[in-house]
Amino acid sequence: MRFRALISVVVLLALPFGGAPAARAAGTGGIEISPYPGVVDGHQVTAFHVSVPAHGHATVRYVMRNTTGHPVAGKVYAAAATRGTGGQFAIGGPGSAPKVHFAGGDVTLPANAVRPGTFTIDGPVDTGTFSAVVVEVHQGAVNERAATLIYLTSAHGTFRRLLTIVLVAVPEVLLALAVLMVLRRRRRTTGPS
């Protein structure tokens, strides 16, 4: 019984280490970039959630599409994203996310075009940091930018957290088992002869 309770506690403690919540893609000027697949288990997952190895890189699939029935043009690029104290994000310009290798630039899409692609992210990255894939359309004096966030996680960081959980949980489970065994032994020795 006590063993079960202990397991429950360990599981609850592990939950906060889960991934960041999913978000939606963003587009402007008829151009939209979203992760692929865009729907998983009935949920639209359109922000990028990427675990990047410390020594290596992660490859990310995406789809760029023209949501209109006419040709559209714009610029796409990877950019740095930083979260302010109020939770709002500031998005950098082209070249501000050097670890994200997104073959962007000027793009023209035919009507209703769907164009799959991949980009890579070099490690190491810090868990809890962000980048973004940006669609930018110049409309005269107005620049419209739509940013799809990339939630970054260090694969090394994930391993370290799992290791921490194991190192904390295993001794506690062993301790609980030991206590259980001692209690059983006492019951046997003090029980009716």
Interacting residues of 44 by C-beta distance below 8 A, sequence separation 6+: 22, 24, 38
In the complex, the smallest distance separating the C-beta of residue 170 from another protein, rounded to whole angstroms, is 33
Nearest Cα to 50, choosing from 138, 149, 142, 161? 149
**Token representation of residue 159:** 């391993």
Nearer to another protein, 145 or 155 (CB): 145
Nearer to another protein, 115 or 156 (CB): 115
Question: CA-CA distance, 146 to 58, in Å (whole number)?
Answer: 23
In this chain, which of 77, 119, 121, 127 binds another protein, going by CB under 8 A? Answer: 77
Using rule CB under 8 A, residue 60 touches another protein: no
Nearer to another protein, 22 or 169 (CB): 22
Q: Is 131 in contact with 125 (CB distance < 8 Å)?
A: no
Q: x/- contact string, 123-162, with another protein (CB under 8 A)? A: ---------x---x-xxxxxxxxxxxx-------------
In the complex, the smallest distance separating the C-beta of residue 176 from another protein, rounded to whole angstroms, is 34
In the complex, the smallest distance separating the C-beta of residue 87 from another protein, rounded to whole angstroms, is 7
**Window 78 to 97, contacts with another protein (CB under 8 A):** 81, 83, 87-91, 93-95
Q: How far apart, in Å, are the Cα atoms of 143 and each of 28, 74, 105?
A: 10, 10, 15
Q: Which residues pair with 139 in a beta bridge?
A: 142
Question: CA-CA distance, 123 to 126, in Å (whole number)?
Answer: 9
In the complex, the smallest distance separating the C-beta of residue 76 from another protein, rounded to whole angstroms, is 8
Question: CA-CA distance, 17 to 160, in Å (whole number)?
Answer: 11
Nearest Cα to 92, choosing from 131, 65, 139? 131
Q: x/- contact string, 16-55, with another protein (CB under 8 A)? A: -----xxxxxxxxxx-x-x-xxxx--xxx-xx--------
Q: Which residues bind another protein (CB under 8 A)?
A: 21-30, 32, 34, 36-39, 42-44, 46-47, 63, 65, 67, 75, 77, 81, 83, 87-91, 93-95, 103-110, 113-116, 132, 136, 138-149
